[in-house]
Structure 1
Amino acid sequence: MVKLATVPVSQVAGIGAQKVKELESFGIRSVLDLLEYFPFRYEDYRLRELSEVKDGEKVTVAGTIYSEAVYQRYGKKSRTSCRVMIDSTLVTAVWFNRPYLKDKLTPGIEIQLTGKWDMKRLQVTVSESEFPGNGGPAQSGTVQPVYSVGGTLTQKWMRKSITQALKQFGEIIEEVIPEFIMKSNHFMPRKEAIRIIHTPADTAEGKQARRRLVYEELFLFQLKLQAFRTLNRSRADGLVHGYDNEELRAFIQSLPFELTEAQKKVIAEIIRDLRQPYCMNRLLQGDVGAGKTIVAAVALFAAVKSGYQGALMVPTEILAEQHSRSLQKLFEPFGVQVGLLTGSVTAARRRDTLASLQMGLIDIIIGTHALIQEDVYYRNLGLVVTDEQHRFGVNQRSILRRKGMNPDVLTMTATPIPRTLAISAFGDMDVSTIRELPKGRKPIETYWVKHDKLERVLTFIRKEVSQGRQAYVICPLIEESDKLEYQNTLDVHAQMQHAFPDLKVGLLHGRMPSGEKDETMRLFSTGETHLLVSTTVIEVGVDVPNATLMVIYDAERFGLSQLHQLRGRVGRGAHQSYCILMADPKSEVGKERMKVMTETNDGFEIARRDLELRGPGDFFGTKQSGIPDFRLADLSVDFEVLEQARDDTAELVAQEDFWTAAPYVALRHYLQREQIFQGELMD
C-alpha cells in the first residue's frame, strides 16, 4: 500500500516545479497534504428563482439578455450593464471593471449570473457570469469549494489540482478510524469523506463529510491524551506522600475560616492523588475568589509533612509576595519554613535562599519564573503548584517539574475553562472544579456607562470612599501613545488627584521598581490610600477586602476573561461591591462583551461566551496554551464531536487488544511518531 504522506505532490499531473515551491509555502509537500488541504467554505452556484431570494443575498440565476450593453468609464474604473429577462422579470445586470464583456453581451443569448441581489432596484451586481454552451467554466448548478490561496495559486487551479489528485490517488487513501467506531457512529469511509469534502453534490453532503473528518482529527488528538493517561497511570514511578492524617486535620481546623463543600471535595481528590504511586497531574479551576490558594496550601502542607519540598510558581511579584505573607502566617505554627524567590530579591538574600533551599531548610518556596533558573536546586521537590497556568509557557512549566524526581503537579487557574477546552488542552489531566464561592459573598453589581458620564462615576467613587471603602481605577496604557487614544494611567492618576484633592490617590504600573510597587500595595492594603489608579498588574490574586469599587476605563480594550479577573479584585469583603465599565465600543464584539459582563457574574458562563467571541486560539491570551491548531475542527461548535472522540478513545486504550492486536498497529505507530512512549509528562 502506497503511503500518500511519502508521495511528493509533484506526482500529481499538472503540478510543475514552480507550483511545488508555492504549495510548500502553504505547508503542502505530499499528495496527502494536498488531499487534506480542506476548503473553509463553499460557494453555492445552484440556480434559484428570484422569488426565493432575499434582498442583499448572493444568488445564481439564469436568464436571456434583453438589451444592448451600456459601457461607462469613471477615471480608471468602468461599469458595464445590460437588461436580462429572468423568470419573466426584467432585471439590470451590472459588472464593474470588466470592459471586455461589452461585446459578449448580445441580446437574445442565454446567460447565468452569480452576484448580489438588490430587490428595490431589481439589480444583480455580478461577481461571476457564464454563457451556457459557449465554453464558459462549468460551475453553474454546482457547489464549489473555496480554499485559502495566494500568489499564482488561484481557486480554479486549486480545485483542478485536487480533483486530479483524487483521480490519481483517491482509491488508495487509507482508513484511520477503527471499524467498530466507524459502525457505531455511521461514518462514511475516509476516502469517500475526502472526495466529498472537495466535491460535494450539495452543502448538506459537504457537512456530512466535514463531520467525519472533524471526528477523525479530534479522535487522533484525544488518542494521544488518553494513551498518555493510561501509560502514566501504569507507571508506578511517582512519589507516595505518607503524611499524618491527624496533623493534616489539625492544619485544616487552624484555618481562619471554614472551607466550603466544594473546597473539601477538591482537597479530597488531591490528597487521594498524593497517596498514589503515579504522578499527580491535576488542573484545579475555580472562579475568581473561590479559594483555590487555600486548597493549594493544604496540598503543600501534606507534601511537606511527607518529607518533601513544595514550590508555588505565580505570574507576578506582587502575587508572590502576597502569597508568601499569607501562607507564612498559616504555616508558622506548624514549623513549616516558607521562602520567597523573585527577580527583585537582593543578591545576598537570593544566595541565602538558594543555599537553604538546596539544604532542605526551606520547605515551601514561593516565587515567579525565578524558581526555574539554572542555579536553583531543590533538595527533595515533591509537589509543584503553578498558579494561573496560562501565564506560563509550556517550557517554563516543564522546567520547574524537572527540578525534582517525578514530583506531583497541581495546576491552578482562575480563568474558568469551558468544558471543551478543558478536554482538549488538558485532556491528559484530571480536572477539579470549585464552583462555590465562600459564604457571605455578595454578587458584584456591574454597570456599563459611556465616557461622557464621568462626572456621575466620580460622584459614585466619592460616595463609596465617604463610607470608608476604597476603589480601583484601571487603565489599559501606562503613558500617552500617539497610536492609541485610550486613557493612560499617568493622565488618569493626575485627573483623579485633581477631582479628589482631599484623598490619597495611589499609582501602580508594571514599569515601577519592585520596592515602589510593594509600598504602593501596602498603603492600599492598609487603607492609607483611598483610590488606586493601576494597569492590569493587579489583575491576578491581589486581595484587599475593603475595596468595593472597580472602575475600568476603555473596557472594550479587554477580553471578557480579563474583565472578569479585574472585577474579581472587589467583592472580597462583607460589603456590597460594584464594577463600572467605561466604554464606547465601536465593534459588535465590544458591545457584546459589555452586555455579557452586566448580565452575569458566573466565570464559567463568561468563559463560554469568551470562547464564542474570540475562538480557542486566543482564549488563553497565549499561543503556548497547549490548544492545537486544527485543520477543520472548531472547538466552539464541535464540542459534542470532541466529547464523543474523548469517550471513544478512552474506551479504546482501556482494551488490552489495543496495545497488541494487528488491527490497531497503524494507531500504535502513530502514537510512536508522536513520542507518547517517551515517558515525559505532557504539557
Structure 2
Amino acid sequence: MGLDLFAIPVEKLRGVSTQKSGELHALGIYTIGDLLEYYPFRYEDYRLREFGEVKDGEKITVQAVVAAFPSLQRYGRTARLLCAVSVEGMVVTAVWFNRAFLKDQLEVGREVIVTGKWDQRRRQITVAESEFPDRGTARSGTLQPVYSVGGGITQTWLRKKIDEALTQYGAMIPELLPASVVHRHELMPRREAIVRIHRPENSREGQEARRRMVYEELFLFELKLQAYRAANRKQPDGIAHPIKGEDIRDFAAALPFELTDSQKQVINEITADMKRSYAMNRLLQGDVGSGKTIVAAIALYASVKAGYQGALMVPTEILAEQHYRSLTKLFEPYGVQVALLTGSATDRKRRDILAGLEMGLVDILIGTHALIQDDVIFRKLGLVVTDEQHRFGVGQRSVLRRKGLNPDVLSMTATPIPRTLAITVFGDMDVSTIKERPKGRLPIKTYSVKHEMMDRVVGFIRREAELGHQAFFICPLIEESEKLDVQNAIDLHTQLKLTLPELKIGLLHGRMSAAEKDQAMADFAAKLTDVLVSTTVIEVGVDVPNATLMIVMDADRFGLSQLHQLRGRVGRSEFQSYCVLIANPKSENGQERMKAMADTDDGFEIARRDLELRGPGEFFGTKQSGVPEFRLANLIEDFAMLEQARDDAAELTALPEFWTSPSYEGLREFLRREAALQGEPLD
C-alpha cells in the first residue's frame, strides 16, 4: 500500500464523526490505508442455491414466492411467524422468530428471498435474514464480508465505509510487488486483489485475492529481514576469530565417539561464521539427543584457542551444573578453564569467579541468568552460546551480547521446526540444523496406556531394573492439589517405595534446594537410584545414558513438544528405550497428542503437529520470541508460500539495482517506513 493512502486520515470519509473515528482507532484503523487493509475474516454466503445441492441442517439462500397467508403464534414474549412459500415448484414452510412486523408484508404472490437453516424432515427453513427484491435490496446473490467489529461499529456501517473508500481512493492503490514476482506466481494485480477481497463475485475470486495479499504480506516481512541483514552486514564490526582447521580436527578426533555428518556440517557453518569479521547470529536446532551440546563445545573451544572467552547461558541450574561437569571433563586435557556461576553460588565463590573472569583466567563461563548481572565483566568475550534460547527474552540475550565487543552469538534449541519457519520466528538469524541421530541409537518405542494399567507399568519398571537399567517417572505436580485430579511427585514417590521395596526410588522437584536437586541427579547418574520420580525440571538437557524407561503420568496434560522433550531423556545409549504415556482416554485433545507421540519420534513432525494443535503464538511463546502477527497469513497453512516469499526476497535484495533503481522505490520507501535499514538486531 503506498504511503499516500497511509497519510490520509480516515476522518476524510463522509460520515466518520469524532466518535466513529475513535471507535475505528480502537480497531487499529487510523488512515484510509488501514481501512482498505482491514480484511474480512470470513464471508456470509447469500448466493441463491437449489434444494438439490443442500444437505439437511445446512444454511441456504433461496428465492421464494409467498404461497399462503402467514400465521402468527405467540408464546409469552416469543413470536413465531409461519408462512408457506413456493421454491422451485415445491411448497415449504418458512419460520421467522420475533419478526411479527413481517406478517403484513408477506402478501400472497410476492417474491421474498430467505436465508436460513434447512430442515429436510420438516421441509422447513428457519429464517435468519430475509429481503424483498421489489425494494431493490442487493444482498442476495452475493458473498458478504464479515469483519471483526466492536463498540458502535456495525458490519453494515463498516462495509459501507470500505465501499466508499474503494470508490473514492481505489485508483490510488499502487502495485508493490515486482512484475517478475507477480508473473512468476500468477498473482492478481494489487488494486484488483484489494477490491476483490472486500467484494468477491464468487469464492474462487475471493481465494485468489486472498492468495495475492497473503503472499505480499509474507514477502514484505521476509524483505524486511533480508534488507536488515544486507544493510547491517556492510559494516565488519564483529570479531574475526583466527581459527585453525587442524585444531578443530584434532579436538574432534580425540572424542570417544564419531561425529555425524550433520554435526560436521554445522560445525563447518559455525566456524566459517566465526572467522568472518561480521558478528555471527546463528540458531543451532536439532532433535532431542542429536548432539547439539558437543557442537557448542567445539565452537567454545575454537573461540578459546583463538584467544577469546566463551559464555554458555542455560535456563536452569540443573542444566548449568550438568554442562559444567561435562565440559570440565572434556576440556581438562587442553588446559581450558571452565567456571560455573549460578544464583546459589556463595559470595566468596562468586567473587573469585568474577575476578578470574575479568583477568582472563576463566576461559568459559557457564551459568543461568546470573551471567547477565552488571558485575559480570569479561576480559575478552568472543562467543556467547544460549541453550534453549526461546526460554530467554530478547532483552536478556541482548544484555549478554553487550558484555563483549559484538561477540558471535550461537543460540540452541531442541524444539525443531522447519528451517524457513525458524528463520521467520527467530528473526535475523542464520539457521544450522542437525538432522541425524548419533550412530548406534535405536528409535524409542512409545506406548499410550490408561491409569488402570499401572500394575503392568510397575512390572515394566521391575524388568528394566533387573537388566540394570533405570527409569524416569514424571508427574505434573509436586504436591496434592484440590483443583487438579492428577498424580503428584511426592505421593507417587511414597507409593513406589512401598510397591517396589527392592528398588531405590529418588525424588526431584523444583522446590528442593539446589544442593538437594544436584544430589538427586548425581545419585541417579551414578546408578545409586533405580527410579527417579520427578516433575518436569528434568525436561531439558539432562543426560543419563543408562536410563531406558520414561513414564509420564497424566500425559494428556502436557503439550506435544514437552512430551517429546521428556521422551528425549531416554534413548541415549545402545540399549532399547521406551516411553510410556499414562493418559486419560476421555481427553480428546490429549488423545490426539498421544497418537502423535506413538506415530512418530521425529521432532520436526512432532513440532508440526504441535503447531497445528496450539498455533504459533502459544507454541513459541509470543511475548519472548517475537512471532509475527499477520493480518491474513497463517504460518502453518501458508508455509509453502512463506518459503517462496523468502527465496524471492533474498534474490531481490541481492540485486545491486534493488538499492538504486526507481523501479523499486516503493519497496525501499516501505523499508524506510518500517525502519528495517537500521536499529537493533531482529532477534
One-letter amino acid matched to 2:524: F
* Preserved CA contact (<8 Å) 2:620 2:627: no
Question: Per-residue displacement from partner, 1:459-508 (whole Å, max 9, x unpaired)?
Answer: 32232223322222222233333443333333333433343344332222
Task: Identify the range of structure 1 (609-618 vs 182-191) with the bigger mean alpha-carbon deviation.
Answer: 182-191
Q: Given the superposition, is the C-alpha separation of residues 2 and 298 from structure 1 closer, same or farther in structure 2, using an over 3 Å criterion?
A: closer
SS in 1 for 2:29: coil
One-letter amino acid matched to 2:292: K
Partner of 1:298: 298
1:536 aligns to 2:536 (yes or no): yes
* Preserved CA contact (<8 Å) 1:226 1:427: no
1:571 aligns to 2:574 (yes or no): no
Cα distance in 1 for partners of 2:663, 2:678 equals: 23
Partner of 1:275: 275
Partner of 2:53: 52
Q: Given the superposition, is the C-alpha separation of residues 339 and 70 from structure 1 closer, same or farther in structure 2, using an over 3 Å criterion?
A: farther
Partner of 2:590: 590
One-letter amino acid matched to 2:124: Q
Cα distance in 1 for partners of 2:95, 2:144 equals: 23
Partner of 2:143: 143
* Preserved CA contact (<8 Å) 1:311 1:384: yes
* Preserved CA contact (<8 Å) 1:193 1:209: yes
Cα distance in 1 for partners of 2:85, 2:400 equals: 72
Partner of 1:65: 66
SS in 2 for 1:623: helix
SS in 2 for 1:325: helix
Q: Given the superposition, is the C-alpha separation of residues 634 and 46 from structure 1 closer, same or farther in structure 2, using an over 3 Å criterion?
A: same
One-letter amino acid matched to 2:549: L
RMSD: 2.1
Note the C-alpha offset of 1:180.
3.3
Q: Given the superposition, is the C-alpha separation of residues 552 and 406 from structure 1 closer, same or farther in structure 2, using an over 3 Å criterion?
A: same
Partner of 1:391: 391
Cα distance in 2 for partners of 1:443, 1:414 equals: 17
1:116 aligns to 2:117 (yes or no): yes
SS in 2 for 1:225: helix
* Preserved CA contact (<8 Å) 1:420 1:635: no
Task: Identify the range of structure 1 (591-600 vs 111-120) with the bigger mean alpha-carbon deviation.
Answer: 111-120
Cα distance in 2 for partners of 1:64, 1:587 equals: 49
SS in 2 for 1:191: helix
SS in 2 for 1:629: coil
> Mapping of 1:22-41 within 5 angstroms?
22-41=23-42
Cα distance in 1 for partners of 2:256, 2:75 equals: 79
Question: Per-residue displacement from partner, 1:13-34 (whole Å, max 9, x unpaired)?
Answer: 1221111111111111111111
SS in 1 for 2:579: strand
Partner of 2:87: 86
Note the C-alpha offset of 1:515.
1.6
Question: Per-residue displacement from partner, 1:423-477 (whole Å, max 9, x unpaired)?
Answer: 4224632221111111111111111122233233223223222332222222223
Partner of 1:261: 261
Partner of 2:185: 185
Question: Per-residue displacement from partner, 1:290-310 (whole Å, max 9, x unpaired)?
Answer: 000000101100000000011
Partner of 2:17: 16
Note the C-alpha offset of 1:324.
0.5
SS in 2 for 1:3: helix
Partner of 1:359: 359
TM-score normalised to the size of structure 1? 0.95
Note the C-alpha offset of 1:331.
0.3
* Preserved CA contact (<8 Å) 2:9 2:32: yes
* Preserved CA contact (<8 Å) 1:232 1:278: no
Query: Aligned residues: percent identity?
Result: 64
Cα distance in 2 for partners of 1:366, 1:92 equals: 76
Partner of 1:491: 491
Cα distance in 2 for partners of 1:614, 1:653 equals: 34
Partner of 1:453: 453
Note the C-alpha offset of 1:682.
2.4
Q: What are structure 2's unaligned runs of at least 5 residues? A: none
SS in 2 for 1:598: helix
Q: Given the superposition, is the C-alpha separation of residues 80 and 487 from structure 1 closer, same or farther in structure 2, using an over 3 Å criterion?
A: farther
Cα distance in 1 for partners of 2:369, 2:403 equals: 13
* Preserved CA contact (<8 Å) 1:58 1:115: yes
Cα distance in 2 for partners of 1:220, 1:21 equals: 29
> Mapping of 1:430-449 within 5 angstroms?
430-449=430-449
> Mapping of 1:226-625 within 5 angstroms?
226-426=226-426, 428-584=428-584, 586=586, 588-625=588-625
Q: Given the superposition, is the C-alpha separation of residues 3 and 120 from structure 1 closer, same or farther in structure 2, using an over 3 Å criterion?
A: same
Cα distance in 1 for partners of 2:334, 2:241 equals: 18
* Preserved CA contact (<8 Å) 1:357 1:378: yes
SS in 1 for 2:576: coil
Q: Given the superposition, is the C-alpha separation of residues 358 and 99 from structure 1 closer, same or farther in structure 2, using an over 3 Å criterion?
A: farther
Partner of 1:627: 627
